[in-house]
Structure 1
Amino acid sequence: MSADTAADLLHPAARATAGRPASADPVPAPPRPGPARVVMPLALLLVLAFSVAAATRIGAADVGWAELGRAFGSRLGLGGEPLPPLMDSLVWDLRLPRVLMAALVGASLAVCGTVLQAVTRNALADPYLLGVASGASTGAVAVVVLGVGAGALGVTGGALAGALLSFGLLLLLLRRTGLDSARIVLTGVVVGQLFTALTSLVLMASADADTTRALTHWLLGSLAPARWDAVVVCAVVTPLGLAVAWLCANALDGLAFGADTAASLGIGVRGTRMLLLVTTAVLTSVAVATVGAVGFVGLIVPHGVRFLVGPVHRLLLPCAALAGAVFLVWTDALARIAFAPREVPVGVITALIGVPLFLVVLRRRGEL
């Protein structure tokens, strides 16, 4: 695609750098989004608010709407009779942190997938493309099985350290060859396979059956351990990462057409790619370190939202964040009740739902 064609589709300010002669006819401004697309973020925000409230009610012991209202009213100082201590603890110490964590992690993974699909120009890119999830798994296993830094790190700290280590290795391998899209994908796959092999080796050589079972449950993704301290960390990191991605929305539009086209539009390709890769790596690292590797959110949600609102990232990114939050909130609720009293890892549910949804999206796009 030529630079002029790409400029027509990007932000109006970018067309000035596309090299169009001054004597050429003015390029018409890109069409404004239709009313349905303008209200989509607001609609998704309302759906998310309802989803958080409804999912907080769902569990082995259902909480009624009236009881939920009393819990929120008493805690937020809005008046009303407080709940009994046991019910209040169930809502505020167990249910609500878990639901909020699901929303934050879902938003992070969906935005990371959206960004990486544009940066690498690969429709199959997801947040785990960079090998971060595999590194987090190795770090968690090293802490639990080998006791590496167990006193100082814990499972979450070990997972975060492993994720950052794998990303550092990725950047080291790309230092000489550059941040070309194909190299990012291939190097990420290699790094991921390396850390996956290390995880399997440690489990096979040193772990007993009970430890292996517990780690397997964590590796498949589980929101059961979510507590307020972890929610606070995600609540700080996630909005910052989303803000960085949104500020780079015009650059992402250009990168989606390729590095040459993006450069012709005045985008600093290497610096922008590095900033976005670091941002997605940090978001993914925090998410995986907290809840494990939850698959398919960062793959299926960007495609589904792109089908609804189009490819312009200034609208696509916030919609993907909200849709990812809603998706993971409900899949976690399903994981809690589908086989109660036994709880299924949420990553299993996201895969079971994500595969058919992804096939439907591919079919609607004419790619299947």
Structure 2
Amino acid sequence: MRRPPLPPLLLGLLVLLLGSAVCGVGLGASDIGWAQTLRLVGAGLSGGTLPAGDLAAYTVVWELRLPRVVLAAVVGAGLATVGVAVQAMVRNALADPFVLGISSGAAVGANAVILLGAFAGLGVWALSVSAFVSALAATAVVYAVARSAAHGLTPLRLILTGTALAYGFQALTTVMVFGAARGEAARSALMWLLGSLGGATWARVPVAAVTVAAGWVWLRARAEPLNALAMGDETAAVLGVRPERLRRELFVVTAAVTGTVVAVSGAIGFVGLMVPHVVRMLTGADHRRVLAVAPLVGAVLLVWADLLSRLLFAPVELPVGVITAVVGVPAFLLLMRRGGYAFGGR
């Protein structure tokens, strides 16, 4: 397929993201007009005064919807970026940010808070801190088991170890759910396991945004080594890339970004799997182009998925992961049926 030039594509995606953000802020159980939405956002950014009649709408826009939309964009960008890196790292078209067992590990810590009341002394930060710490612990376990003295950190060992330990973490989470008292706690645990941005606040945005931005900058700077790694270890070595060292660095970076976004949003699946393939169809396999476009596509996708999760059965919210799967699966299958595509581009 004919691929568009990169600058117009990036500009179009940026405009689409801004328009999606306006829709995400303006639409909801109580709709707010576009003009009023923009005026309230501008007032919040500039610190201007508001008429008394706008105070309720301002609270909805600035304290509830805007941080949720911003966090959705950050999480979507992070999952898409990590998806590109993981697929290059393990050279597997079915890989996504959760193939290493990090998400399942984070679920153990999150459910310890939701179902058992662990780390209650941390207050509103208990869930995020527990999920992040358990994600890092799962990362350490996967790394220790996958790495061997003879072969180092190979793609096959990473996939097999991550998949096997993910099943173990899921089993532990299931035991916790069935062992805890039924009711609202079990429902909250299910929402977290399927992904939810309902707890978004401004306090959660900076850490996630900085981590995702730092991870993206690091990966973008290593786009050319990623191109070499995607062609195989022997080819990468010939081109001057040390595959095991690069793979180890990728493992650390992807684990940190995945653990951070999962801690603030739960386990939102399919974004990291689908977006890299969609972007490769638009840009080709060069990671310099893929990593430039993937964050914007992931951000747009998750902003709209979160909006649909709020609107479809309002005022009841669906888990975001349900929307990404329902929308993403048929779209992904249609894309895969189109001719001229193979993993890594053609």
Q: Give the letter for the 1:256 counterpart.
A: A
Q: What letter is aligned with 2:121?
A: G
More deviation in 75-84 or 128-137?
Answer: 75-84
- State the AA in 2 paired with 1:165: A
Tell me what 1:145 maps to: 115
1:223 aligns with 2:187: no
Distance 2:50 2:132 in 1: 41
Instruction: Kindly state the Cα deviation for residue 214 of structure 1 after the two structures are TM-superposed.
Output: 1.6
Distance of 1:133 and 1:76 partners within structure 2 = 34
Within the alignment, does 1:71 sit opposite 2:40 as a pair? yes
Alignment map for 1:217-366 (pairs within 5 Å): 217-365=191-339
Q: Specify the alignment match of 1:161 in structure 2.
A: 133
- The letter of the residue matching 2:32 is V
Aligned residues of 1:70 and 1:80 also touching (Cα < 8 A): no
**Contact 2:109-2:134 at 8 Å conserved across structures:** yes
The 10-residue stretch of structure 1 (187-196 or 82-91) with the greater mean CA deviation from structure 2: 82-91
Alignment coverage as a number of residue pairs: 336
Change (3 A) 1:274 1:90: same
CA distance in 1, matches of 2:49, 2:35: 11
Say yes or no: does 1:101 pair with 2:75.
no
8 A Cα contact 1:70 1:81, kept in partner: no
In 2, Cα distance between equivalents of 1:208 and 1:34: 52
Q: Does 1:58 pair with 2:2?
A: no
Deviation of 1:36 (Å): 2.7
User: Is the contact between residue 3 and residue 283 of structure 2 (CA under 8 Å) also seen in structure 1?
Assistant: no
Tell me how far 1:240 sits from its aligned partner: 0.4
Would the aligned equivalents of 1:135 and 1:165 in 2 still touch at CA under 8 Å? yes
Matched, 1:92 2:66: no
State how far apart, in whole Å, the 1-side matches of 2:176 and 2:307 are: 32
Shift, 1:78, TM fit: 8.2
Higher Cα radius of gyration:
1
Q: Determine the structure 2 residue equivalent to 1:39.
A: 8
Q: In the TM superposition, what whole-angstrom CA distance separates every residue of 1:141-165 from its partner, at most 9, and x where no partner exists? A: 1223233333236111111111111
* TM-score of the pair, normalised by structure 2: 0.93
Quote how far apart the aligned CAs of 1:35 are: 5.5
Letter in 1 for 2:218: V
Which of the numbers 74, 92, 114 marks the counterpart of 1:122?
92
Contact 2:115–2:189 (CA under 8 A) maintained in structure 1: no
Cα distance in 1 for residues equivalent to 2:31 and 2:180: 41
Deviation at 1:218, TM superposition (A): 1.5
Residue-by-residue CA offset, 1:172-211 (whole Å, 9 max, x unaligned): 1123252111111111101111111111112112342332
SS at match of 2:315: coil
Deviation of 1:212 (Å): 1.3
Deviation at 1:256, TM superposition (A): 0.7
Q: Percent identity?
A: 44
Q: Residue 4 of structure 2 contacts residue 282 of structure 2 at CA under 8 Å; is this kept in 1? A: no
RMSD: 1.8
Tell me whether 1:133 sits opposite 2:107 in the alignment: no
Mapped to 1, the partners of 2:180 and 2:30 lie a distance apart of 39
Counterpart code for 1:93:
E
What amino acid is the match of 2:103? A
Matched to 1:198, the amino acid is: L
Aligned to 1:192: 166
**Do the aligned partners of 2:279 and 2:293 also contact (CA within 8 Å) in 1?**
yes
Contact 1:112 1:298 in 2 (8 A): yes
CA shift at 1:340, angstroms?
Answer: 1.2
Q: 1:210 to 1:75 in 2, by over 3 A?
A: closer
Ranges in structure 1 where 5+ consecutive residues have no aligned partner: 1-32
| Cα 1:304–1:148 shift into 2, 3 Å | same
Matches of 2:3 and 2:165 in 1, distance apart? 43
Deviation per CA, 1:296-342: give whole Å up to 9, x if none: 10011111111111110101012011000000001111111011121
Partner deviation per Cα, 1:211-250 (whole Å, 9 max, x = no partner): 2122101111111100001011112111001111111110
Q: Which moved more, 1:309-318 or 1:41-50?
A: 41-50
